[in-house]
Structure 1
């Protein structure tokens, strides 16, 4: 007990964070800036999670990992100088963005889809699927084309089956001009490296190859933030309720010799799928004289990796004639349950697994009860988890500047 006249000191809160991906590093920085003693436990030998960028001559990400400047994490990262140099967005007239519609390459989407883009997300109902609502608005052809286009932000094989409000919000953001999507030079790994360095300077302790199997031992030391995939969190916490709709995506990475006139991107409006030449913006991603292309093909539960690869190759055949003769390197993989939260009709972000799990344990990640698009969900849930851990008061119930409640 302090003597009379002596200042009372508040003990420093110790926070353990399980997972060193984007959500975990966000939580670590936010907690350390608030004065907490922070330790990050990462089971892999490197941090970054799904935000890693491959080492070597071909710097691929697990998906595009664009930063949308309309989201709250953009301001937060920018204030801390963590975004770094951005790859220049090609001018609209020079992007060579094409669409596959009715089996042919087109420069513009169906007029009905353009009409749908004018509908405010607030007009779309939560409890009706997107295809039903959009068909009532503009007809089935425009509705299906719009649903398939949103694969660039949803990575789901059937976006039309999801909540109309959820999909319309993402359609508007994905098709916004000028584009909200920006790409850090060197890939997302460059952002992660800056975040890790900032965390280190704040005194955050990062332990790699540190798999956590006993959450109770960490909880005995103070609040714990579990910033892993929802599947990993379910196993770690032994909580079968930690489930939410997500999707499966086949990623096809191809490096080819450069050729004048190659497209920048190709969106499939007949089915879900997206092909993008990332070296259009960022030449550091492949060796001189080569271009790096990635296909992102959402697949249904009954479809295989081979099905997704075949669909990617059909898009490449259409948009990049002769690409097979120019290949210098390629690989393919399946991203299971790594597409972020997808809200079915009748649900919103508030219905997802709650951040506060009780007994000083909190959840952060892209399938958690927090608003936003893609990595914005990870960011919002991470900051919410820190706020709850340190003050017992969450922030997602108030319209604070850093949280985008409009994306509900």
Structure 2
């Protein structure tokens, strides 16, 4: 009896869902992808408002992870926005209440520590303080927040934070910026999915997992918890105030302001990508992690202080502004004594698999979504073989 074509369903059309759908379709499966919103992309969407293109918070694509090679092999990255050397030199560090050009020496010393030297079961602040002292430990933890979106990086696992610190400070930088925003990558991924025969359904909000077909749930963890009725699908994440601005250009504006006194990051994304704003204007995006007892307004006030320091006169130059709060939408954070292996497992049993940035997969930022999506697709294809047999 000839083997029937494998079938599977992907719920969620963000970066993880598209990765899973493409992987399965390339292997010959018939894939149905269901997205509850009007458009695909999830948190990787780039929105356009009044001529300004912005991601959902600061986004970068790191070239040190496995997804870089995968995307590049399929020509899905597209043109990258170059960062002119003059702009790169305008990185400013807020330390001890002032803007500086170089980090504390103790923080630089900490970067020499190899990843395996940072323990899993000790918090970063305790470990780093023993290594280089209080000042360097605090500055390093707060700088690492660019890849953590958490209000207290020092309280997290030393191994978890140190990996992200080293990735965020590599020279040359790992962070790259797709020209036109992350949606340019998503658009290419959607086109490849269509060309592979993936059946894409938008405005398709499922309330139950389809029967008799392997299913990949590539949604946020809270959404997966509700869909699957599984209360164990929980993991710590960050809570972050986001601010987006369009301002008239001014010579001398900073490229990046990183807060070493408390977690916070402001970046002028149009410095290298002029497609994000009309001529003579700039797009600035920032993220300030906030504690459970703080409000979005608290985070915005801290962001405004960093803007005052790095972008003098910005208030009089504002052409457009938007604020938001990202709660539990910034990826997993690992507490002391835990690693990515302790997060909710990808294989949920009964032909259901999870993909996303808070599940049991290694990597930094979007790499977790990618790695989990590849694993989920691989497991779903195996299950499809068994069903078709």
Q: Could you say whether these structures have the same fold, taking a TM-score greater than 0.5 normalized by the shorter chain as the test? A: yes
* Cα distance in 2 between the residues matched to 1:145 and 1:121: 18
- Per the normalisation by structure 2, the TM-score is 0.97
Determine helix, strand or coil for the equivalent of 1:65: coil
- Per the normalisation by structure 1, the TM-score is 0.93
Picking from 7, 18, 25, the partner of 1:32 is: 25
Displacement, 1:339? Answer: 1.0
1:151 is matched with which residue?
145
Picking from 312, 318, 335, the partner of 2:326 is: 335
* Cα distance in 2 between the residues matched to 1:321 and 1:310: 16
* Cα distance in 2 between the residues matched to 1:219 and 1:82: 32
Whether contact under 8 Å (1:219, 1:360) holds in the other structure is no
State the aligned residue count.
383
1:48 is matched with which residue?
41
* Cα distance in 2 between the residues matched to 1:82 and 1:64: 20
* Cα distance in 2 between the residues matched to 1:95 and 1:34: 45
- Please give the residue correspondences for 1:3-42 in structure 2 after superposition, counting only pairs within 5 Å: 9-42=2-35
Whether contact under 8 Å (2:351, 2:383) holds in the other structure is no
2:125 is matched with which residue?
131
* Cα distance in 2 between the residues matched to 1:249 and 1:189: 22
Displacement, 1:89? Answer: 2.5
The 10-residue stretch of structure 1 (57-66 or 372-381) with the greater mean CA deviation from structure 2: 57-66
Per-residue displacement from partner, 1:97-141 (whole Å, max 9, x unpaired)? 000000001000000000000001100000000000000000011
* Cα distance in 2 between the residues matched to 1:378 and 1:155: 16
Cα gap change, 1:23 to 1:93, in 2 (>3 Å): closer
* Cα distance in 2 between the residues matched to 1:79 and 1:135: 42
Asked if 1:219 corresponds to 2:203, the answer is no
Displacement, 1:67? Answer: 0.6
Whether contact under 8 Å (1:87, 1:282) holds in the other structure is yes
Picking from 274, 292, 307, the partner of 1:316 is: 307
Displacement, 1:144? Answer: 0.2
Whether contact under 8 Å (2:13, 2:35) holds in the other structure is yes
* Cα distance in 1 between the residues matched to 2:324 and 2:308: 20
* Cα distance in 2 between the residues matched to 1:297 and 1:355: 30
CA RMSD for the aligned pairs? Answer: 1.1
Displacement, 1:95? Answer: 3.0
Displacement, 1:16? Answer: 0.3
1:174 is matched with which residue?
168
* Cα distance in 2 between the residues matched to 1:213 and 1:138: 52
Cα gap change, 1:20 to 1:305, in 2 (>3 Å): same
Whether contact under 8 Å (2:58, 2:286) holds in the other structure is no
Cα gap change, 1:191 to 1:291, in 2 (>3 Å): same
* Cα distance in 2 between the residues matched to 1:314 and 1:356: 45
Asked if 1:64 corresponds to 2:55, the answer is no
Question: Runs (4+) of structure 1 moved beyond 4 Å?
Answer: none
Determine helix, strand or coil for the equivalent of 1:112: helix
Whether contact under 8 Å (1:42, 1:211) holds in the other structure is yes
Determine helix, strand or coil for the equivalent of 2:188: helix
1:367 is matched with which residue?
358
Determine helix, strand or coil for the equivalent of 2:177: strand
* Cα distance in 2 between the residues matched to 1:373 and 1:392: 28
Whether contact under 8 Å (1:126, 1:345) holds in the other structure is yes
Is there any run of 5+ residues in structure 2 with no aligned partner, and where?
385-389
Is there any run of 5+ residues in structure 1 with no aligned partner, and where?
3-8, 394-408
Per-residue displacement from partner, 1:71-91 (whole Å, max 9, x unpaired)? 000000000000000001332
